[in-house]
Structure formats: structure tokens, C-alpha cells
Amino acid sequence: MSGVTASAPGKLMLLGEHAVVYGHPCLVTAVNQRIHVTVEKNGKDVFYMEAPDLGLNAYSKTIENLAIKAPPPAVRFVEHLYKRFLQRWPQREGIIVKTKSEFSSAFGFGSSSAVSVAFAKALTSLYEINLNNDELFELCYQAVLDVQGVGSGFDIASAIWGGTIYYVPPAQVVRRVAIEELPLVVGYTGIKADTPTLIRMVQSLHADEPEMVEGWFTQIAGLVNKAEKAMGEKRWDELGKLMMKNQSVLRELQVSSVELNRLNRAAVKAGAYGAKLSGAGGGDCMIAVVQTEVRAKVEKAIEIAGGEVMKVELNAEGARYE
């Protein structure tokens, strides 16, 4: 029996991280590194997955044992999602899942959200179940919560809708920001950060100092709203300033790091309009808004400061069938 293939993009947080976990808006753009997932029926009571790019070969489990013992990281989201799917739409036979990733091995831009969305899109189509974007979001977000317990779902929304979106969790608002280009440089610190750990750090700060932290979140939300407008009007200098302010609040939240601060400083010194961390913090990536004339200089400065410049196209297309 022939299968169905779907793909979904990675994502890059622009502004609003952490505050978005508490119901505030964020801005996120999809990146053109995609994961392709093929799903076919196998006629057996077994879930089988091959994801060589994610370090997983010939993994199999009987359907009744799905997601009972913690699955390995590469299969976690897919396995939980499949279990949720079967609870809602029971099937007699299992599936074969194969993935192909275009993500760089150094830094993934959110491979778990991309793999979840591409899998859910291919799987539902295989069984001729038509889900709109909101329903697809619900299925995938549920699986993320099953696995991580925390998260705003912004990465799932980005993988589904693509482009650049203004997002209020959990997909209460998903609004496309009408831009053709996004003049950003992306620098990777070389340090992998663990998002759930950072979310929990902020949670404990929030529990200790609720009023102060809520105040910071409100400030972040204000910056996100202004940034949406600035982007729509192509006022990149203004976007840079707003990112700098967002970065100051993220430093107060203690999620920035020595390396991120160093790369941000280098970018701004080399002429960027502004720079900030992107994502949970603690490492991973920073972004800088640049004019074309200074792009090369900013990239060089980031490299000299110890970062790796990630060549990615932004504002990429959302999930699609292949």
C-alpha cells in the first residue's frame, strides 16, 4: 500500500518567548529547514519508525504498548501523537513511519514541532480524515503536552501556518504578518539548551515573585504588539530597538547567558539595529536585525565572538503534502 508524505518547517522565535507560556502574544517565523514524514499502513498490530537523521533505526512497538514506557527522544512526539490519534480514531492495523530531515545537525530550529506536524498531517490524510489547521493544532499540541507537560504551542502553530505569525496561546489568535522579507542574521552559540528546564526556571521565579514577573510579561506583550506593527511597516530600526528592550527583560528573567550576551553585543557593535536571544535562552540562537549594507560585517562580528552564523531563509511555507 502506498503512503502519504507531508513536510513541515522549523521555527525561529522573534519576540515574546516565556511570556507566551503565560498567555501573552509572541511573534514567530517559519524557517526553510523542513522535516518530511511518510506514513503507510503495515497490516500488522505494530508501530514501526525509521528516522535515521534523528538517530533512530528500525524502532517498533506493539500498539497496546504505545507510549507506556518513555520512548527515545527521536520518537517521543510521534509515538504520543499516534496514541492520541488511535484513541480518537481507532484502527485495526499499525503504520510505518519514515522521516527525512533537512535540519542542520548543529542546531535544529524545533525539529520536534516540525516532525509532529508533518506526521499528523500525513497520518490523518492516510485515513482520509480532514482536519483544518485549528484541529491539526489541537491534535499536535495535546501530544506536546503529553510529552513535555509545558509549552505554549507557538512552535506547532508556526509549523502548521508557516510564514510569520502573531500568536496568542493556545492558537487563540494566529495572525499572519504580511511581510516579504525579514532582514535578520541568526547566530548559534554552539550551546544546546533544554527548553523545559528553562521554562521551569521561569516558573519558579514566577512563583517566588509573581507581581514582578507578571510586570515583565506585560512589558514583553507591549513590545510584541509594537513589533508586529513595526514589521508590517518595514521599520526595521524600530524592530531592532524593540528587540533590545525585549532582551533586557529576558536578562531580568535570567534566561540569557554569557555567550548570548557576547554575540548580541558583537552584532550591535558591528551596526545591527538590535539583537536578542531567540527561544528559551540559556544558549541556542540569537537574532540581529540588520540593514543589507552591514549584514556581512555583523555576520563576521558574530563569528569572531564565537558564534556560528546560520544561513536560513525565513518566512517559509507551513505544513504541506509532498
Provide the annotated active-site residues: 155
Cβ neighbors of 34 (< 8 A, separation 6 or more) are 7, 8, 9, 10, 102, 114, 118, 316
CB nearer to ligand MEV: give 25 or 279.
279
Indicate the DSSP class of residue 235. -
Which amino acid, 34? Answer: R
CB nearer to ligand MEV: give 24 or 34.
24
β-strand partners of 176:
165
Q: Give the binding site for ligand MEV (CB under 6 A).
A: 13, 17-18, 20-21, 151-152, 154, 195, 199, 279-280
Closest approach, Cβ 199 to ligand MEV, in A, equals 5
Closest approach, Cβ 100 to ligand MEV, in A, equals 24
Closest approach, Cβ 142 to ligand MEV, in A, equals 14
Closest approach, Cβ 167 to ligand MEV, in A, equals 9
- Range list of β-strands (E), the chain: 4-15, 26-41, 46-51, 56-62, 95-101, 164-168, 173-176, 184-188, 274-278, 285-289, 308-310, 320-321
**Whole-angstrom Cα distance, residue 83 to residue 288?**
40
Residue nearest to ligand MEV (CB): 152
Cell output for 41:
499502513
